[in-house]
Amino acid sequence: MTTTAATAQKKSGIKTFQAGELLFNQGDPADSLFIIQRGQIRLFLPKGRGIVELAILRSGEVIGEMAYFDEKASRRSCSASAIVGTEVIEISFKAFGKTMEGLNPWFKTIINTLADRLRKTNDKVKALESNSLGYGQGGKVSDYVFYHPIDIIKLLSLFYMGLKTHGEVVDKYTQIHMNRLKFYMLDVFGTQEIKYEEFFMMLEQEDFIKLVPDEDKQLKLIQVRDVEMFRGMMVFLNMQRSLEDAKKLQINERTQLLLQMILDQMTARGVRDAEAQADITQILNKAGDAVNNDDIKGAIVAGLCDDILVGEGNKLACTVYLDKLRKIFPSIKMMNAIKKVNAAMGTKKGY
């Protein structure tokens, strides 16, 4: 069992955790609770080769308090890790017990009763927790998948509708406040918070969106240059979902990088034609070991370009079908981004 920073330090006090660092593992001794001062913490359970996400907790919320009220809970019932840099106050059960002893008896009875009811409710919720499992043939549980294809299609649909309904066009960007979008996706349509959070972080990391300061100088204004791109990805991924595996588009990250460099080259040259010759030699020299000419095979199979030809001066070149490439490249980025998220969540089989 991994020793965490929380189990290594038993005394009460302020503790700091880096993104990804564990507060505790499922099964660790439960001897303290945590009050989040800043940051975010995810609670999760191991499930087969993957994990089941339980919740995301933020500043002002408490973790691990139920173990104090449950005499049978001497071990942690789930795992907890920081999503971003996080600061918590750890309070040992010994110190917390001294505080409880000083309470009025009837007030202590109310707290114990509420805690008992909450524990029973949590047990029922955990018993019903199966939303994040994949099912194979015959209804058998298959490998865990954090994002199923339908999850992404729903998230893209809601993101698109939120921007179209509530977005405001400013300087060629469509923008929407994060709070409004979150209300729309979480409260109105009931999107799972953990999936929304991961989806949003992925969009930012992959440059599908950018954040700018709002009137309170907080980075909470979401800006999108092309709203219809989200609709295009939604339609494309829905079509992919209905295809047999052998017919689905398969573009790995190295091929994606090569295609991105081709698009960048065409933009630098000011090419707007439906098809054009890409200078593959120039790209390979610039990319170094990141890509090679074999990485174009996936793009050839997908009908995005022709075979590489050797021209004058032994320069490598190929014909690229730019209209098609520009249209589906965002979807290629999205599919590979989802694979990375699923892999990070402990998934064996991704999108």
Is 106 a member of any domain? yes
- Residue 8 to residues 65, 93, 118: CA-CA distances in angstroms? 19, 15, 29
Find, among 209, 235, 222, the residue nearest to 156 by Cα: 235
Mean pLDDT of 7-30: 79
- Residue 137 to residues 18, 28, 130, 142, 320: CA-CA distances in angstroms? 40, 36, 17, 8, 40
Q: Report whether 130 contacts 141 (CB < 8 A).
A: no
- Neighbouring residues of 336: CB distance < 8 A, sequence distance ≥ 6: 251, 252, 253, 256
Do 242 and 254 share a domain, yes or no? no
Mean pLDDT of 300-319: 90
Q: What is the predicted pLDDT for the residue at 87? A: 93
Do 268 and 209 share a domain, yes or no? no
Is 168 a member of any domain? yes
Do 210 and 116 share a domain, yes or no? no
Q: What is the predicted pLDDT for the residue at 60? A: 85
Number of domains in the chain: 3
Do 114 and 216 share a domain, yes or no? no
pLDDT at 260 over 90: yes
Do 15 and 61 share a domain, yes or no? yes
Is 156 a member of any domain? yes
Question: How large a percentage of the chain has pLDDT more than 70?
Answer: 82
What is the spatial distance between Cα 308 and Cα 284, in angstroms, rounded to a whole number?
12
Q: What is the predicted pLDDT for the residue at 137? A: 39
- Token digits of residue 324: 């098609």
Phi first, then psi, for residue 259 (nearest 5°) are: -65, -35
What is the spatial distance between Cα 219 and Cα 27, in angstroms, rounded to a whole number?
38
Do 103 and 194 share a domain, yes or no? no
Q: What is the predicted pLDDT for the residue at 221? A: 92
Q: What is the predicted pLDDT for the residue at 71? A: 61
pLDDT at 210 over 60: yes
With vertex at residue 95, the alpha carbon angle to CA 90 and CA 96, rounded to the nearest 5 degrees, is: 80
Q: Kindly report the CATH number assigned to the domain that includes residue 103.
A: 2.60.120.10
Is 138 a member of any domain? no
- Residue 65 to residues 26, 87, 165, 229, 270: CA-CA distances in angstroms? 15, 17, 41, 45, 61
Do 218 and 260 share a domain, yes or no? no
Give the residue carrying structure tokens 């092309």. 226
Is 256 a member of any domain? yes
- What are 29's strand-pairing partners? 75
Mean pLDDT of 25-32: 87
Which of 217, 246, 275 is the last residue in one of the domains? Answer: 246
What is the spatial distance between Cα 349 and Cα 27, in angstroms, rounded to a whole number?
27
Do 84 and 103 share a domain, yes or no? yes
Do 322 and 255 share a domain, yes or no? yes
Mean predicted lDDT score pLDDT of the chain: 82
Half-sphere exposure of 151 (CA within 13 A, CB side): 24
What is the spatial distance between Cα 123 and Cα 126, in angstroms, rounded to a whole number?
5
Do 236 and 285 share a domain, yes or no? no
pLDDT at 128 over 60: no
Q: Kindly report the CATH number assigned to the domain that includes residue 206.
A: 1.10.10.10
Half-sphere exposure of 240 (CA within 13 A, CB side): 22
**Residue 223 belongs to domain spanning:** 149-246
Q: What is the predicted pLDDT for the residue at 330? A: 95
Predicted TM-score (pTM) of this structure: 0.62
Is 158 a member of any domain? yes
Do 253 and 242 share a domain, yes or no? no
pLDDT at 300 over 90: yes
Which of 197, 220, 246 is the last residue in one of the domains? Answer: 246
Do 202 and 253 share a domain, yes or no? no
Is 351 a member of any domain? no
Q: Give residue 246's region: left, alpha or beta (phi > 0; psi -120 to 50).
A: alpha
Give the residue carrying structure tokens 């949003």. 200
- Residue 5 — pLDDT band, cuts 50, 70, 90? very low
Q: What is the predicted pLDDT for the residue at 318? A: 93
9-13, 36-40, 57-61, 189-193: the lowest-pLDDT one: 9-13
- Residue 48 — pLDDT band, cuts 50, 70, 90? low
> Which residue did the predictor score with more confidence, 125 or 16?
16
Mean pLDDT of 281-308: 91
Is 141 a member of any domain? no
- Residue 184 — pLDDT band, cuts 50, 70, 90? confident
pLDDT at 243 over 80: yes
Which of 128, 162, 196 is the last residue in one of the domains? Answer: 128
Q: What is the predicted pLDDT for the residue at 304? A: 95
Give the residue carrying structure tokens 């993957």. 50
- Residue 247 — pLDDT band, cuts 50, 70, 90? confident
- What are 171's strand-pairing partners? none
pLDDT at 144 over 70: no
